[in-house]
Amino acid sequence: MEVDIFVPCFIDQLYPATAFNMVKVLERLNVQVHYNPNQTCCGQMAFNSGYREEAHALGVKFLSDFNGERPIVGASASCIGFIRNYYEKLFYNSPWHLDYKKIKSNIFEITDFIVNQLKVDKIPGTFEAVVTYHDSCAALREYRLDPEIPRRLLSGITGLQLVEMENRDECCGFGGSFAIKHEAISTAMAEQKVEHALRTGAEYIISTDSSCLMHQQGYIDRHQLKLKTMHIIDLIAMASDQHLKPKTS
Protein backbone atom coordinates (compact mmCIF):
# COMPACT_ATOMS: atom_id res chain seq x y z
CA MET A 1 0.00 0.00 0.00
CA GLU A 2 1.08 3.57 -0.68
CA VAL A 3 0.14 6.58 1.46
CA ASP A 4 0.74 10.31 1.69
CA ILE A 5 1.81 11.47 5.12
CA PHE A 6 0.47 14.66 6.64
CA VAL A 7 2.78 16.32 9.17
CA PRO A 8 0.85 18.96 11.15
CA CYS A 9 2.70 22.22 11.76
CA PHE A 10 2.67 21.55 15.51
CA ILE A 11 4.62 18.32 15.02
CA ASP A 12 6.81 19.78 12.29
CA GLN A 13 7.95 22.67 14.48
CA LEU A 14 8.02 21.13 17.96
CA TYR A 15 8.08 17.33 17.70
CA PRO A 16 9.68 16.39 14.36
CA ALA A 17 10.85 13.04 15.77
CA THR A 18 7.19 11.98 15.89
CA ALA A 19 6.92 12.50 12.13
CA PHE A 20 10.04 10.43 11.50
CA ASN A 21 8.72 7.72 13.82
CA MET A 22 5.43 7.68 11.91
CA VAL A 23 7.36 6.99 8.71
CA LYS A 24 9.42 4.31 10.45
CA VAL A 25 6.38 2.47 11.77
CA LEU A 26 4.52 2.63 8.46
CA GLU A 27 7.53 1.37 6.51
CA ARG A 28 7.94 -1.53 8.94
CA LEU A 29 4.33 -2.41 8.13
CA ASN A 30 5.29 -2.55 4.42
CA VAL A 31 3.64 0.77 3.57
CA GLN A 32 5.29 2.95 0.93
CA VAL A 33 5.35 6.51 2.22
CA HIS A 34 5.14 9.68 0.12
CA TYR A 35 5.90 13.10 1.62
CA ASN A 36 5.11 16.41 -0.04
CA PRO A 37 7.61 18.95 1.39
CA ASN A 38 5.39 21.85 0.30
CA GLN A 39 2.64 20.99 2.78
CA THR A 40 1.90 23.47 5.56
CA CYS A 41 -0.77 24.12 8.20
CA CYS A 42 -4.28 22.72 7.64
CA GLY A 43 -5.79 25.99 8.92
CA GLN A 44 -7.16 24.80 12.25
CA MET A 45 -5.49 27.47 14.37
CA ALA A 46 -6.70 30.30 12.14
CA PHE A 47 -10.22 28.84 11.98
CA ASN A 48 -10.50 28.41 15.76
CA SER A 49 -9.31 31.99 16.29
CA GLY A 50 -11.95 33.40 13.95
CA TYR A 51 -9.74 34.09 10.93
CA ARG A 52 -11.94 32.42 8.32
CA GLU A 53 -10.31 33.96 5.24
CA GLU A 54 -6.86 32.85 6.35
CA ALA A 55 -8.21 29.40 7.25
CA HIS A 56 -9.85 29.15 3.83
CA ALA A 57 -6.58 29.99 2.09
CA LEU A 58 -4.70 27.39 4.10
CA GLY A 59 -7.44 24.86 3.42
CA VAL A 60 -7.22 25.46 -0.32
CA LYS A 61 -3.46 24.92 -0.13
CA PHE A 62 -3.99 21.69 1.80
CA LEU A 63 -6.43 20.40 -0.82
CA SER A 64 -3.91 21.32 -3.52
CA ASP A 65 -1.05 19.57 -1.71
CA PHE A 66 -3.03 16.33 -1.26
CA ASN A 67 -5.10 15.09 -4.17
CA GLY A 68 -6.73 12.25 -2.23
CA GLU A 69 -5.65 9.55 -4.68
CA ARG A 70 -3.72 7.82 -1.91
CA PRO A 71 -4.76 7.51 1.75
CA ILE A 72 -3.50 10.43 3.83
CA VAL A 73 -2.13 9.49 7.25
CA GLY A 74 -1.17 11.80 10.11
CA ALA A 75 -0.18 11.63 13.77
CA SER A 76 -2.80 14.09 15.02
CA ALA A 77 -6.44 13.28 15.67
CA SER A 78 -6.97 17.00 16.29
CA CYS A 79 -5.88 18.25 12.87
CA ILE A 80 -7.45 15.39 10.95
CA GLY A 81 -10.69 15.75 12.90
CA PHE A 82 -10.71 19.42 11.93
CA ILE A 83 -10.22 18.61 8.26
CA ARG A 84 -12.94 15.98 8.27
CA ASN A 85 -15.51 18.13 10.05
CA TYR A 86 -14.83 21.81 9.44
CA TYR A 87 -13.67 21.90 5.84
CA GLU A 88 -17.37 21.27 5.20
CA LYS A 89 -18.02 24.80 6.47
CA LEU A 90 -15.01 26.34 4.77
CA PHE A 91 -15.83 24.93 1.35
CA TYR A 92 -19.61 24.68 1.34
CA ASN A 93 -21.02 25.61 -2.06
CA SER A 94 -17.54 26.35 -3.43
CA PRO A 95 -15.38 24.93 -6.26
CA TRP A 96 -13.34 23.11 -3.63
CA HIS A 97 -16.23 21.19 -2.10
CA LEU A 98 -15.77 18.04 -4.20
CA ASP A 99 -12.03 18.00 -3.49
CA TYR A 100 -12.82 18.16 0.22
CA LYS A 101 -15.36 15.32 -0.06
CA LYS A 102 -12.75 13.17 -1.78
CA ILE A 103 -10.20 13.74 0.94
CA LYS A 104 -12.65 13.45 3.85
CA SER A 105 -13.16 9.75 3.29
CA ASN A 106 -9.47 9.08 2.73
CA ILE A 107 -7.63 10.82 5.59
CA PHE A 108 -6.81 8.94 8.79
CA GLU A 109 -5.24 9.32 12.22
CA ILE A 110 -2.39 6.82 12.30
CA THR A 111 -3.63 4.37 14.96
CA ASP A 112 -7.00 4.20 13.22
CA PHE A 113 -5.22 3.62 9.91
CA ILE A 114 -3.05 0.83 11.31
CA VAL A 115 -5.93 -1.05 12.94
CA ASN A 116 -8.82 -0.44 10.55
CA GLN A 117 -7.11 0.00 7.19
CA LEU A 118 -4.01 -2.19 7.50
CA LYS A 119 -5.88 -4.65 9.75
CA VAL A 120 -2.97 -4.79 12.19
CA ASP A 121 -3.73 -4.74 15.90
CA LYS A 122 -0.38 -5.91 17.23
CA ILE A 123 3.04 -4.52 16.30
CA PRO A 124 5.87 -6.57 17.84
CA GLY A 125 7.68 -4.50 20.41
CA THR A 126 9.11 -4.33 23.91
CA PHE A 127 8.69 -1.43 26.31
CA GLU A 128 9.17 -2.09 30.02
CA ALA A 129 7.04 0.55 31.71
CA VAL A 130 3.72 1.34 33.33
CA VAL A 131 1.70 3.76 31.21
CA THR A 132 -1.68 5.45 31.34
CA TYR A 133 -3.61 6.69 28.33
CA HIS A 134 -5.14 10.13 27.77
CA ASP A 135 -8.10 10.27 25.37
CA SER A 136 -7.87 13.70 23.78
CA CYS A 137 -11.08 15.64 23.26
CA ALA A 138 -10.32 15.95 19.56
CA ALA A 139 -9.76 12.21 19.17
CA LEU A 140 -13.01 11.31 20.91
CA ARG A 141 -15.34 14.09 19.84
CA GLU A 142 -13.96 15.45 16.57
CA TYR A 143 -12.24 12.52 14.92
CA ARG A 144 -14.44 10.03 16.81
CA LEU A 145 -11.64 7.57 17.30
CA ASP A 146 -12.73 4.36 18.97
CA PRO A 147 -10.90 4.60 22.34
CA GLU A 148 -10.09 0.90 22.21
CA ILE A 149 -7.97 1.26 19.05
CA PRO A 150 -4.86 2.86 20.63
CA ARG A 151 -5.28 0.64 23.68
CA ARG A 152 -5.31 -2.43 21.45
CA LEU A 153 -1.96 -1.41 19.97
CA LEU A 154 -0.51 -0.71 23.41
CA SER A 155 -1.73 -4.01 24.83
CA GLY A 156 0.28 -5.93 22.23
CA ILE A 157 3.62 -4.51 23.41
CA THR A 158 5.66 -6.85 25.60
CA GLY A 159 6.49 -5.50 29.05
CA LEU A 160 4.03 -2.60 28.85
CA GLN A 161 1.45 -2.35 31.62
CA LEU A 162 -1.51 -0.10 30.81
CA VAL A 163 -3.33 1.30 33.85
CA GLU A 164 -6.42 3.42 33.31
CA MET A 165 -6.69 6.75 35.10
CA GLU A 166 -9.83 8.15 36.71
CA ASN A 167 -12.01 10.20 34.34
CA ARG A 168 -9.79 9.19 31.46
CA ASP A 169 -11.90 11.01 28.86
CA GLU A 170 -11.93 14.42 30.57
CA CYS A 171 -10.21 17.38 28.89
CA CYS A 172 -6.62 18.18 29.92
CA GLY A 173 -7.25 21.92 29.49
CA PHE A 174 -5.20 22.71 26.40
CA GLY A 175 -7.77 23.53 23.75
CA GLY A 176 -5.41 25.65 21.64
CA SER A 177 -6.11 29.33 22.29
CA PHE A 178 -8.23 28.33 25.31
CA ALA A 179 -5.00 27.75 27.24
CA ILE A 180 -3.99 31.36 26.53
CA LYS A 181 -7.34 33.08 26.99
CA HIS A 182 -8.29 31.13 30.12
CA GLU A 183 -4.93 30.35 31.67
CA ALA A 184 -6.14 29.72 35.23
CA ILE A 185 -8.87 27.28 34.17
CA SER A 186 -6.55 25.58 31.69
CA THR A 187 -3.85 25.11 34.33
CA ALA A 188 -6.34 23.73 36.86
CA MET A 189 -7.55 21.20 34.30
CA ALA A 190 -3.97 20.14 33.55
CA GLU A 191 -3.34 19.73 37.27
CA GLN A 192 -6.40 17.50 37.62
CA LYS A 193 -5.42 15.36 34.63
CA VAL A 194 -1.83 14.93 35.81
CA GLU A 195 -2.95 14.10 39.36
CA HIS A 196 -5.23 11.37 38.00
CA ALA A 197 -2.27 9.98 36.03
CA LEU A 198 0.04 10.08 39.06
CA ARG A 199 -2.43 8.08 41.15
CA THR A 200 -2.16 5.17 38.71
CA GLY A 201 1.56 4.81 39.41
CA ALA A 202 2.28 5.26 35.70
CA GLU A 203 5.64 6.44 34.40
CA TYR A 204 4.18 7.82 31.15
CA ILE A 205 1.05 9.52 29.87
CA ILE A 206 0.41 8.39 26.29
CA SER A 207 -1.89 10.02 23.71
CA THR A 208 -2.53 10.56 20.00
CA ASP A 209 -2.13 14.35 20.28
CA SER A 210 1.15 16.15 20.92
CA SER A 211 -0.62 19.38 21.86
CA CYS A 212 -2.33 17.75 24.85
CA LEU A 213 0.91 16.07 25.86
CA MET A 214 2.85 19.35 25.62
CA HIS A 215 0.31 21.03 27.89
CA GLN A 216 0.53 18.27 30.49
CA GLN A 217 4.32 18.06 30.24
CA GLY A 218 4.52 21.78 30.93
CA TYR A 219 2.65 21.28 34.20
CA ILE A 220 4.78 18.22 35.04
CA ASP A 221 8.04 20.08 34.44
CA ARG A 222 6.99 23.15 36.38
CA HIS A 223 6.18 21.03 39.43
CA GLN A 224 9.11 18.62 38.93
CA LEU A 225 6.91 15.52 38.97
CA LYS A 226 8.13 12.00 38.22
CA LEU A 227 6.06 11.51 35.12
CA LYS A 228 6.67 11.83 31.38
CA THR A 229 4.48 12.21 28.32
CA MET A 230 4.93 10.42 24.98
CA HIS A 231 3.05 10.30 21.70
CA ILE A 232 1.75 6.80 21.01
CA ILE A 233 3.62 6.57 17.72
CA ASP A 234 6.90 7.43 19.46
CA LEU A 235 6.26 4.66 21.96
CA ILE A 236 5.42 2.12 19.23
CA ALA A 237 8.56 3.05 17.27
CA MET A 238 10.75 2.82 20.37
CA ALA A 239 9.20 -0.52 21.34
CA SER A 240 9.72 -1.82 17.81
CA ASP A 241 13.37 -0.71 17.85
CA GLN A 242 13.88 -2.60 21.09
CA HIS A 243 12.24 -5.71 19.64
CA LEU A 244 14.48 -5.63 16.55
CA LYS A 245 17.69 -4.97 18.50
CA PRO A 246 20.15 -7.88 18.13
CA LYS A 247 20.16 -10.15 21.18
CA THR A 248 23.44 -10.20 23.10
CA SER A 249 24.75 -13.37 24.68
Per-residue pLDDT of 88-110, as tens digits, reads 989 988 899 999 999 999 999 99
Residues 176/45, Cβ–Cβ less than 8 Å: yes
Q: Is 43 helix (H, G, I), strand (E, B) or coil?
A: coil
Q: pLDDT of 56-75, one tens digit each?
A: 999 999 999 998 789 999 99
Domain boundaries, the chain: 2-117, 126-244
Burial 21-47 (b: 16+ CB within 10 A, else e): bbbbbbeeeebebeeeeebebbbbbbb
Dist. CA 220–CA 190, nearest whole Å: 9
Nearest to 172 by CA among 187, 151, 182: 187
CA-angle at 102, arms to 97 and 108, nearest 5°: 120
Q: Is 228 helix (H, G, I), strand (E, B) or coil?
A: strand
Residue 249, pLDDT > 50, answer no
- The DSSP code for 77 is H
Q: Is 112 helix (H, G, I), strand (E, B) or coil?
A: helix
Residues 205/227, Cβ–Cβ less than 8 Å: yes
Least confident span in 1-5, 22-26, 179-183: 179-183
Q: Is 242 helix (H, G, I), strand (E, B) or coil?
A: helix
- The beta-strand segments (E) located in 35-176 are 72-74, 107-109, 126-133, 158-162
- The beta-strand segments (E) located in the chain are 2-6, 32-34, 72-74, 107-109, 126-133, 158-162, 204-207, 228-231
The predicted model scores a pTM of 0.91
Phi, psi of 57 (to 5 degrees): -65, -40
Partners of residue 32 on adjacent β-strands: 2
CA-angle at 18, arms to 40 and 128, nearest 5°: 165
Residues 25, 82, 181, 11, Cα dihedral to 10°:
20
- The DSSP code for 230 is E
Instruction: Report pLDDT for 187.
Output: 79
Q: What is the mean pLDDT of the segment spanning 156-162?
A: 96
**Distance, first Cα to last Cα, the chain:** 37
Alpha-carbon Rg for the chain in angstroms: 18
Residues 34/3, Cβ–Cβ less than 8 Å: yes
Dist. CA 79–CA 66, nearest whole Å: 15
Task: Quickly name the fold that domain 126-244 has.
Answer: Rossmann fold (3.40.50)
Mean pLDDT of the chain: 90
Q: pLDDT of 172-222, one tens digit each?
A: 767 666 666 666 777 788 888 899 999 999 999 999 999 889 888 998 999
